[in-house]
Structure 1
């Protein structure tokens, strides 16, 4: 075909390349004529090489019509010209083709790399030329491509800067123009300043969902000079350090995406500051929300409203700032997560650093830990101290009307005095009368509590006074509802006898193991009774019977005597006491806490459910900080820097716990009522082991030490084995035959010392209680007393006729009473004795104090002598030291004292074996 058209192959190839290069810029638009090529759309600058080649191979450029010419010039220059006149400085667009001026209005862009000129007066004369530099947006605007032909026409005529603004224009505006345009002064009347340096541009792109994308770039021209170090443009600290690249130099800040409060705070505060910096421009994409910070002081209002559950109130919390009510749920979540600021849906935000907001979060969190929220936070009516803290914090506090009386009385230093019931046959001491008033306060508001007076101060009498008060206040015609008293088996007879002595007008029924375990027997016992006394064992075994009565006519209340028996929250007895359907529960114990705060929590969960948080949360909030479980950095940077903070946290949590439980726990120690008690003298008798006994003890000590040392790294899992080794050493310190009958021939120095002491005690007409934790050792003591002809009575867990044994001692048939610490260390009133011998020490001081309190109590009129027999240089001496430290934990929470760790740690085990 080429042959028939007689086309030159080289020229044909040129036309093919020309068309292909034009089409490569993009697909043709619908309806476009592919036979036509428009130079305006020729985006590839290779065009000028092709035009040069065309001339070289004989392709001629022709116009349409007769006399039309097309010329390709060497170069075009587009810029601005400044000329001064009397009126000011005129700035106009300037276009040159091969150095000759051309009207700008006649110029048109070829892509971004060239210009063609068509003189309107000579439309058949066309000049094409490549530009000396690429055409940017400002240059294209001069040609009317971006700014429109009206802008191009205006600049062609020129813009006049008035004379009074000329200097401002030269110094402030012209440098920026020179950065984007080729500016000259053809007539030399204007002295041109240097071009402005590049501009650092921050593009802020707003997206839905409070999202802000930030990206940086330089805006400038080659004539603007090299880009400076952006760190010299943006002052230190204005941008987070993490936004900057690691290496120094001219690297721009990294692109980042901000969300929520970070986006709002940056848009409201940092973007305006950046935009005001010289050399910085902020370009906004999208619609920015109306971000603004609320700077007013928060106004806090708390309310408590009744719910369908009598023990709970809906807790309302309202925070207002600058007239804007802050939604509670997002506020609380932000506070509990430790956030600095909170963003609201309308774009406003506030700082969460106000002094009232941090404590508010802690208090609301405490309320939330008690029960699951259904419609919002709730507060238990037992949490009077928590409400008081909220009142102190709030600008306004509105309690539920049903709660106001309780809050007022709970806030007093002491409940109002209550007259003693007429049927009480006893003269109460002042502290006992105060205890009775406190109990009636609890009963009046149907609140539970813990009566934790020290052993021997008449807790049973105070409880009987309450029951007598309730019986006398019962409205006429209302049926009796008895109090259920649950006590250890050994203490049950004491309740019956004490009631007969002090409240003879009350009807008291006792349930024992010989009674039929049935609903009928429990119901029959309760019918017409004021008090039904049972044991913890029977409550556990016959729980359904007790519960059936609770769900029927009901118990007036539940009194748990020696309540340390239900301190284990996972035990079945605790579950029974917790699940029994009663509206009033009173725990009575001289030792509400023996080893750990978890025991205190277990008791309060029975008497005041809702007062304290869950066991897990209580462990984190109180047990760990108060009992001194160590945590924090122990090695590396910052190690050892936390003790002061730990001590402060411990003090804060201890004060808070005391405040929470104070209205519901009453404790008076013997020190407070010393004038009402006889003197008590305590003495430690150190007993040296016989040589053979000493040799055997030291041999076993070394063996057990080696065994235990290998287990301490995993003490929690190996605790039973470790305790077994410690128990073996404790028994060996008492008598060698306790671990091996073959050693019965070795002398027992401690029993020898006991017999020597008892000989004088009995000869002088005194009576003595002898306690040991090991019934096997008590039996050895019994054998020695029998051999010496000393009469005695004996009580341990296997004793069947317990009441008869106790009555025998009280009747004076024997001067010595051998008692197992577990079976008789609590609940007994044995003021007939005035001497106490403790044959072996126990880990917890409360256990020993309970034993001593069997005789050193109200009703005792003689001085009480207490002797502790300790084997010298044995584990017993170490137990005494450990016991002294354990006493401090009880003092700290209940009696206000110093603290220590209640947990038997690996270090303490090592100390015991030293």
Structure 2
């Protein structure tokens, strides 16, 4: 005799962590990689018969046969019919599971530290489910589970569950009779969801009273802004006085104090809007902690505040960018307009250009001219070393020669590149009038900016000089290494948005490093509204592609942005490139490093003059070499100087350049040789590579001869992208054709030594173009060494050419040049 069993589904939640032996979760289906915590759910159908018989089974994790027959007989071990399953109710419950966003999780996607942990998991974990993102479980607990419980579900959690975002009033505990350990706990009272709040300022007003929470997102965490603003009003009386409030600069950074002591910097403009709308509520002395109480009469507050906080895309798009704000309809308008214009027409190199452009570079200039002609903007994203700066300068030179450059162009650069741009402009486009806004006296140049063709500034100075830069209109605004402003909420990203320019251009070899939000930030600068606002872009593109794995949507996004991105890879252009491309990367000493160089230079000058007076030139060579070595050490890195203490934040120009260059080179798949004559310098570089989490090998005099062959073979196998080599140990006799990039950290006296080192990669068997970068401190002894290399090929040999050959001597003129102040 069988009876209908009482059906009750049970949901059990558990957060697996390192304590369970978990390493993480590999991507699979709708799930991205996750770790070190992974929350899983087990769904069980339970039945209890009238006689107390209990039976349960795991819910099916397949989509097949979700609507079977209405019932099924369950038999016990003796073959007796004991209860009837309600398969219709099970199917309804399973439909609800899918509607909640839970997906089956294959057990083999979980990665375990040990084999025993994996075996233990196989015994106790089966028929797993999870949400597509770990962070979703907090809302799932607060918003979905109360409804699930109200439908009769049992809600159980195992120890360690990490997402009880709302407290539970009562639990039923399951305790081990042997150890007293809590094995699980079942919710034993009605679950309380979050208190209802209005979180979107654009929602229509309802009836009666509401509670309003103002949120600010910091590092992915939503923090209530109300107590932060209330505290601000208490400590700064300006915010209570309308006249004083109006005098606060919209661009000022206001320090807010969050719970736990965290300091938050926020722009004054939106805070002024919120305080102006909600002042009496924020300053109410009897206001309790929590959301602000609002009545239906306060609806105007929300609408006024919403309108004041609207994005500035419409204003920034300008008269020619209205299509960018019209979505797909705007794209159709643009496509129709461009159909009649055809493709970019070939252009000739401008007169006076000091470099011969290769065909692919001329094509790039034609593309830039096309964008300018049609009031569009784009990203020049060629691989490093393919001459992006040359293309941009040629583009500007054409603009000047056609009379369109009636306003200056502004290029915003990383600090390490400003002097390289100066040198390249002098060499390639000497007719351009270039102003570099650098140094403590740069404010003297602000009134004269309109008289220049090209103004250079840096990302760190952009925010400090914003008032002067915003006051000037520009023909073109260029962001070099544009990934620097990939964080849309950063100060520099906000500052570039407020600059006024007819045309905009991003230059970067890595337009996308971590996530699609970086691409949105660059296009929001280039063509505001083209990819929507950040919230809609995240909803329509970023989440479906990054989390949902929707390849078709990724293809659609690519089709939308590809016309505005020109990206040529080095491998694709080998037939047009010379077999060897050399570039001098100039950096300038700043701050305390510059002061240190000058003090060492003055001391060396006095020391050498004294020894020359006492011993003459022949007797003073050791002293001379020691003095010059100290100057070169300061150029390479201040921490190379012996017996000197430096502040940890001392400026280090060459290491800062490497921090900018190497991540991009490695991301492009480049294989890099880094040469220095100093093994101590290579040790400092190795420490920086560890900080950047970039894998590296080193070949120096410390490397045992027995290990060198294996080390070279490892690099040649392309398993490690970076090889640090001392000139003496690895400058000759090695075949390193896996490398396509060579960086010389310090110029050597004898140019032949560096040429031999470069030949480790540029040799027979090399099938790729080799790009060579020589890092030189501008105006220092290093630049004078480069000049001397060109003027006297025997100069280095005369000082330290081959070990101890010291016969040939410097002239007095050469020494004066070497010891001249920083220019």
TM-score range, shorter chain: 0.3 to 0.5
Q: Normalising by the residue count of structure 1, what TM-score does the alignment of the two structures yield?
A: 0.31
**What's the TM-score once normalised by structure 2's chain length?**
0.34
Structure index of larger Rg = 1
